Structure 1
């Protein structure tokens, strides 16, 4: 009985489980196998695509301002930088997720079509049993330490191109960075340069020449979240980069502007689904990254 069968034959209960690891051969793609009965994600974004399958139960989430439902047997796809959260329905849920980079998915689709494309997706939940099986099979294969490289490469190419060609919009592209209003660009630059320090809304408004209220309105309209939400997301992304290195967790917390290590761990898990220590193990090739999310 594999993890999928174990989860679908019995109700989700007890402690939540999560395993996250990175596949360096696929542009550092993150992979997550998780079962959540209690854990809820805070609103967050990814600079990658989100592609995966719900293997048991039901996930509730808010995306693009709409309450959505993803059920067992469905494929879930989100574009990069789309604000969303996530929480279990009464029965909990289990899923297997990939986070392929923009370049990885774009190259797979471009190679298949013989021309440069960058897929975008309109529908978040897909009813496609064949694609569900392909994604689930690939995820299981990547989790298998005895995997065959050639087979995994083949399965990955087939799964990624299937998602893009069967369900992606191949005529447009992702929203180019820098198309937001100048004030919003300046605000983002200001926040990006203050990841390690406290930021007050009045200072941010003064830096871009807008009132606090007007800044909040145009920032949310352009970015999809508040300046605080954006700053928190950028701090978490920076922390993920630092977790690949040797810095102690307490030092990473300070370098990324968190109050202390406990605050860092709480915010990180709320957005990523696993603790910083768990994420570090999954990013380190000499450790297996297996265990409960702490």
Structure 2
């Protein structure tokens, strides 16, 4: 679905303390945290040339393009989203993102597994321990999107946080009822046990010097087979997965108040510049901008 990138959406200010940061020419991002929901981050952005590298999140990604058209690859399938479409990405799903045509503006949120489990439990009036799963990456739902966009705008720094809290709860409940199933994710394929073991090792030791030879020896596979199996099962090479986990850990460190240099040193990056390149390629803003937005 391709739309017109010209829009009358939010007009960001230029005060970095408000969470607004320039990317490339003609591009804007506003990253902000929602204090009424534990560790819930939100992003409003306009991208005309910026492209995300393949990456993952520990959280869900729920959002909507409000002008123009975005394209991405999830689960090996190329998709497109425009106004009126929900975009859903499940935790640990590898995805990228890029403008289609002249660009796009979107509103995104990153709810935790715990938050959606809590809402699902309240909807079912019993404890839900399974992780909700969105089987479709893009769903056309203009009414639901209108509710989500209103909630997202209300939660923004200029909005009514209490009204936004209720609206966003309703929006997430709508998404769970209409578009999710509360079951386990689909089973993985061949050599899944080896990949699972190496993935767990990387998650526990991401800051270490994890060479391909060391990982292959741990998996009991030749290096080329480990790369192939890991890419097949996760959508990433082992090295890309290591960088991804380091960026996620750096986000957590920055949220706790670490400086970008401290976060880089603590998470296995060789220096702050290396962290900045990897962070911006996956999150869309620099570590310093992220720290300012969540502090």
Over 3 Å counting, the alpha-carbon distance change for 1:156 and 1:209 in structure 2 is same
Distance, in Å, in 2 between the alignment partners of 1:122 and 1:148 is: 30
- Give the one of 3, 8, 17 matched to 1:5: 8
Over 3 Å counting, the alpha-carbon distance change for 1:176 and 1:65 in structure 2 is closer
CA drift at 1:105: 1.1
Over 3 Å counting, the alpha-carbon distance change for 1:182 and 1:162 in structure 2 is same
Look up the SS of the partner of 2:133 in the other structure: coil
Distance, in Å, in 2 between the alignment partners of 1:257 and 1:111 is: 40
Identify the residue that residue 134 of structure 1 maps to in structure 2: 147
Structure 1 residue runs of 5 or longer lacking an equivalent are 285-294
Tell me whether 1:92 sits opposite 2:95 in the alignment.
no
Identify the residue that residue 167 of structure 1 maps to in structure 2: 179
Identify the residue that residue 147 of structure 1 maps to in structure 2: 160
Over 3 Å counting, the alpha-carbon distance change for 1:277 and 1:103 in structure 2 is same
Distance, in Å, in 2 between the alignment partners of 1:137 and 1:75 is: 14
Distance, in Å, in 2 between the alignment partners of 1:155 and 1:82 is: 27
Identify the residue that residue 280 of structure 1 maps to in structure 2: 291
CA RMSD of aligned residues (A): 2.5
CA drift at 1:112: 1.3
Deviations along 1:3-60, whole A, 9 cap, x unmatched? 962479xxxx943111112223212111001111121000001111111110111111
Tell me whether 1:157 sits opposite 2:169 in the alignment.
yes
CA drift at 1:148: 4.9
Contact 1:56–1:73 at 8 Å: present in 2 too?
no
Deviations along 1:59-116, whole A, 9 cap, x unmatched? 1111111111111221111211111100112311000001101111121122112234
Identify the residue that residue 289 of structure 1 maps to in structure 2: none
Identify the residue that residue 252 of structure 1 maps to in structure 2: 263
Identify the residue that residue 207 of structure 1 maps to in structure 2: 218
Distance, in Å, in 1 between the alignment partners of 2:281 and 2:93 is: 16
Look up the SS of the partner of 1:266 in the other structure: helix
* Count of residue correspondences: 275
Contact 1:7–1:94 at 8 Å: present in 2 too?
no
Over 3 Å counting, the alpha-carbon distance change for 1:193 and 1:116 in structure 2 is closer
CA drift at 1:155: 1.0
- Give the one of 178, 185, 198 matched to 1:187: 198
- The farther-off stretch of 28-37 and 70-79 is 70-79
Look up the SS of the partner of 1:243 in the other structure: helix
Look up the SS of the partner of 1:281 in the other structure: helix
- The farther-off stretch of 249-258 and 59-68 is 249-258
Contact 2:257–2:291 at 8 Å: present in 1 too?
no
Deviations along 1:158-196, whole A, 9 cap, x unmatched? 1110001011124x234699xx84432332243234433
Distance, in Å, in 1 between the alignment partners of 2:146 and 2:200 is: 42
- The farther-off stretch of 272-281 and 251-260 is 251-260
Distance, in Å, in 2 between the alignment partners of 1:94 and 1:159 is: 19
Deviations along 1:228-247, whole A, 9 cap, x unmatched? 12111100011001102343
After TM superposition, where is structure 1 displaced by more than 6 Å over at least 4 residues in a row? none
Over 3 Å counting, the alpha-carbon distance change for 1:198 and 1:147 in structure 2 is same
- Give the one of 113, 123, 147 matched to 1:112: 123
- Give the one of 23, 36, 40 matched to 1:25: 36
Structure 2 residue runs of 5 or longer lacking an equivalent are 1-5, 12-23
Over 3 Å counting, the alpha-carbon distance change for 1:124 and 1:96 in structure 2 is same
Tell me whether 1:122 sits opposite 2:154 in the alignment.
no
Look up the SS of the partner of 2:8 in the other structure: helix
Identify the residue that residue 287 of structure 1 maps to in structure 2: none
